[in-house]
Structure 1
Amino acid sequence: MPSPRGFVVQSLLALWLFERFGLSLSQAGVFFFWSGVLSALSFPVAAWLSRRIGLINTMVFTHIPSSFALMLAALAPTLPLALFFLLVRAALSQMDVPTRSSYVMAVVTEAERAAAASFTSVPRSLAASASPVLAGALFAGSFRAWPLLICGALKIVYDLLLLMQFRRLKPPEEC
């Protein structure tokens, strides 16, 4: 099954911004620089937040607003508004990475950690490899924002299912 994250790879996002708003290559470079900076800064924020509201809650309650920001960017009428929503997304979308790793390592035994890390990472990477093909086909269609909208919607469904499935399985430090 395709992964939601593969629907919005940087190259397709840059192409969408270019075709929709006429974003230049130099503007795209500056945008992706700041997007990366915000994403990197979110990691220590995620650690701080997870100590206050828990690992699962941090994953879900940062990812859902990130997904809404992506969907709003898809519908934004102007370049500055689209970039604003995409930067909001960048600041929130990766907070699940360190919290997911921490959660998985906390709820499995020490002997199972390497296998658990592989089990959660490999399928995500394989699924993400199929998504750009679908996103490209959707992008070639009439409404070019479909990949962004589909990605946001799938991630919201994923996050709600994650919350329902794991909210009661607390890591030892949260009990």
Structure 2
Amino acid sequence: MVDVSEELSRLSDLEQLTGQAVESVLVDRGWAGERRNPAKEWATTWSRDDASAWIQGDGPSVEVEFTLWYREVEEEWPDPDTYMDELYDTAVAELPRVVSQLESGTLGARLETSDEDLTGGADFIQNKAWRISGKVLLAGVKHDDTETPVQLVVVLREYSTGDAAEDEGEWL
């Protein structure tokens, strides 16, 4: 699994997460970009090894989401509910390793835990979130709907007091 600690450290140091600034960090760290939205001045999708990254938002501030692990939902499985439970369990089992990388890597000493919900209203199966340099860093397992894979993601976005929302996921 790709370690994105260095990317996140550099991104958290930015005064503002703009599409161009995020793109610059990703290019410098060896990510391959592709322009999926011609209306944007920066590439929105990225890949490196077995991971993907998305720059989301129109700006001036954007959010960057790294997908470190994903598994497709297979409809042809004999028991889809059991299969989904196994996917959730496998993804949740990987989450502590990612959290450990973040807490012990270049970001570790700078991460601030918080009692507030930092999910921004997103629904996670399980997650861990911190504040860092006026931003939110979140590692979590999600499954948005039946058409998407189960994913382990790391998200960095600007912090806003209006972002707090009720979270239905569990905290590590």
Whether the TM-score (by the shorter chain) exceeds 0.5 is no
More helix by share: 1
Q: Which has the higher contact order (CA 8 A, sep 6+)?
A: 1
Give the structure with higher Rg (CA): 1
Instruction: Normalising by structure 2, report the TM-score.
Output: 0.32
Instruction: Normalising by structure 1, report the TM-score.
Output: 0.31
